[in-house]
Every structure is written in structure tokens, then in C-alpha cells.
A = this chain, B = another copy of it.
Amino acid sequence: MQIISTVAELRQRLRGVAGIAFVPTMGNLHQGHLDLVRIARQHGQCVVVSIFVNPLQFGANEDFSKYPRTLQADCDKLEGLADVFFAPTERELYPQPQQVTVEPPLANELCGAFRPGHFRGVATVVLKLFNIVQPQVAVFGKKDYQQLYVVRQVAAQLNLPVEIIGGETVRAPDGLALSSRNQYLSAAERTEAGFLYQMLVSTRQAMLDGVTDYAKLERQAAEALTARGWQVDYVAVRAQATLMQPESGARDLVILAAARLGQTRLIDNLEVCI
């Protein structure tokens, strides 16, 4: 596997290469990422993985500086799985202050309501990376469901010649979705963390059992989390296709949640087809 840190070198390496499958990440790779790389391999002849902790998508009070950076370990994990590993510096991707930004839809909804500017930062860096790598296919995890939606919208509405594929969330045995942020959790918090998924499962079960008052289900789920010591940002039942409030009779739904345990903000979601 080749490790590349500059845009010029990457363009040179990929010139004339057809069938590029791309997995953009922020590094600190876990099995969830490796699954995305495996999916990429099924869709392209040349698998490119990028690792870049993107300052543009972090708020001023967020965890940019403490976000785990484990470049060598990431490299080792990708050996034999990816063909090209792109790890640019901040200066390489943002040689000047970024004045051109991409405004995605629902930027102030769900996680966007709690992370102002986050999805603008995501959309902008993903577009930059797409323009550098020029993949035929790009793979994003469903764990970041709203991010996947935003990237799909960016690709469709800006006419990007790339197919976006969503990879299933990989979970720990207790259901906790794998995430680099899980390592911020104390032992006690880690024990509690699995409840977020259990809450999603029981909410899904209620929906499958015919409950249609989603506002009530959202409220109950948030109350259950709060009672156990979580600080809830939101629990929301939305339409899969639009991430908007589902219209009456809508069948392809998703339950999304974001909540904090201590200092650690966790997100998760579960699709429900009723």
C-alpha cells in the first residue's frame, strides 16, 4: 500500500486509473471503517482510503484537538486492504482559509441543530476530497446517517459522477455502535453506553407493533435516557428518504438519536420498515 500526503502526488498516482473506490475517514480506524474498505473493494479496482481530521467540521467547543490520531496503527490495519492511503496535512487541504463552502440541506436539523456549521464542514471537505480523488464509488457508514444523507444530496444535486454507498453500522456485543469517540468513555459510561442501542431497538419494536404516535415514542425514549443519566440532544423518527418528519402512512423510517454521557456525545440510529 502506498502512503501519500500531497494532492499533487495523489493526482499523479491516480492519473488514468479507472474504477476508484474511496473511503474518506478521520482515522483511528476500527472494524466499522474496515468494513467500509471491504465494501469499497467489491466496487472498485483501486481502493483509496483518506485519513484527515477535518477542522472545518468541528465547532469551537468540540473535540478537534483531542480527537484520537493513530496514523501508524491505521496504516497497519489497512495493509493488504487498501491500495492507496491519503493522509494530507491541514495545510495541504486548506492552504488558505476556506472561503468557498458547500451548504447542504438540513444543516440545522438533528445533529446540525447541536453542531452549527458541522455539515457545512463535512460537505465542503467531502467535495474537496472527491475532486482530488475522483472516485467512481465512495463508501460512508450508516452510523453517521445524517452525514450519509448530506453526502448523497451533495453528490446528486451537484451532479457529481460518483455513486454513494452506505455501509451497515458495526456494533459491539452489547449493541453500542463502534465509534472513535467510544474511547472517551469511562468504564462506567461504557457499561451504560449500550443502552442507546437498546432504546432504539425497543422504539423500533413499538413501531413494528403498530404504535403511530411517533412524537410520544420520541418523548418516552428521551425520558428513559435522561432517567439513566444521559443528556439527550434528540430522539427523532424521520423518513429515510428525506430525514424530514414522516408523512402519514410513510413506511421507510429511521429512528435517530444523539445523547451525551458525561463529556462524550454518542449518536446512533436504526432503520425501521413498517
Contact = CB atoms under 8 A, between A and B. Distances in A.
User: How many copies, total?
Assistant: 2
Interface string A87-98: 000000000101
A100 B96 contact: no
A132 interface: yes
Contact of A158 (B11, B100, B157, B161): B100
A241 to B, nearest CB: 12
Contact residues on A (Cβ < 8 Å of other chain), bracket: 20 to 34
A158 B128 contact: yes
A80 B201 CA distance: 65
Residue of A7, A96, A153, A157 with most chain B CB atoms under a 10 A cut-off:
A157
Contacts of A123: 100
Interface stretch (A101-109, A210-218, A248-256): A101-109
Contacts of A153: 99-100
A26 interface: no
A123 B161 CA distance: 18
Interface in A99-143: 99-105, 123-124, 127-128, 131-132, 134
Contacts of A132: 159
Interface in A7-29: 7, 11
Contacts of A239: none
A193 interface: no
A170 interface: no
A46 interface: no
Interface of A: 7, 11, 96, 98-105, 123-124, 127-128, 131-132, 134, 153-154, 157-161
The 3 closest A-B pairs by CB, nearest first: A99-B105, A100-B157, A131-B159
